[in-house]
Amino acid sequence: MTKSMWVMWPKEKDQKYKVVGTTTRILQLIDEKKLNFDTSVSEQVSEFCHPEVTVGHLLLHTSGLQGDFERKGELKDKEDRGMVCGVAHDSKAYLLGESGSAGIFSTLSDLMSFVEAYLQRDGRLFSEGMFRTILDTTFKDRGLGWNKEYGNHILYHTGFTGTSILMDMDTREGMILLTNRIHPSRDNKVFLEERIALNHLWLD
């Protein structure tokens, strides 16, 4: 298997995350001039009570909003729910009933198509101008929805259940990692260390 699409998949289907669905669609709407980075989130979501927070703030994780919420003590771990299959594992999403931050499921094949569309930059996702904006915009190791801890040209994101996407936009190579980190328990710190080591191995 070539490095350009080095994929590991203990699971054929996995829960994916905001960067695949929400971030991509927001960037497409900006690309289509239907939103802009300075658009107040309150203009789009009337229930959102922070008019000072913009779309750009959310994409760069610079909104200043608290990262957790006041019902944290009520969060239920997977062990309290029994075996979870086909629904979001994310405890916040489970507690809230609905959440835009979890519960997007995808297949390996679809994720490969998504990564290929990013790497080929052929217009399927964004204009070339938007791709340049994605690569040129960085704030404290964060990009527009993506982490950039490995460099401005490396787009990276992880998922709660043990997933990740890593793309080198210069060499146009990518890695998709699908695992079951939280089975049987989310208390799996070794995996987090091993994923970082795998990233460095792949990038070298």
Give the model confidence (pLDDT) of 18-68 as tens digits.
Answer: 788 889 999 999 999 999 999 999 999 998 899 999 999 999 989 988 765
Nearest to 24, CA basis, from 86, 142, 163, 117: 117
Contact 4, 173 (CB under 8 A): yes
Q: What angle do CA 56, 101, 74 make, to 5 degrees?
A: 125
- Output DSSP code: residue 144: S
Give the count of domains, the chain: 1
**Residues facing 14 on adjacent strands:** 106
Beta-carbon contacts of residue 150 (< 8 Å; ≥ 6 apart):
156, 166, 199, 203
Kindly report the average pLDDT of the chain as a whole number. Answer: 83
Specify the pTM. Answer: 0.83
Residue 130's CB is within 10 A of a number of other CB atoms, namely 17
Name the stretches of the chain with pLDDT < 70. Answer: 1-17, 67-81, 86, 88, 92, 96-103
Identify the domain containing residue 169 by its residue range: 5-203
CATH number where 36 lies? 3.40.710.10
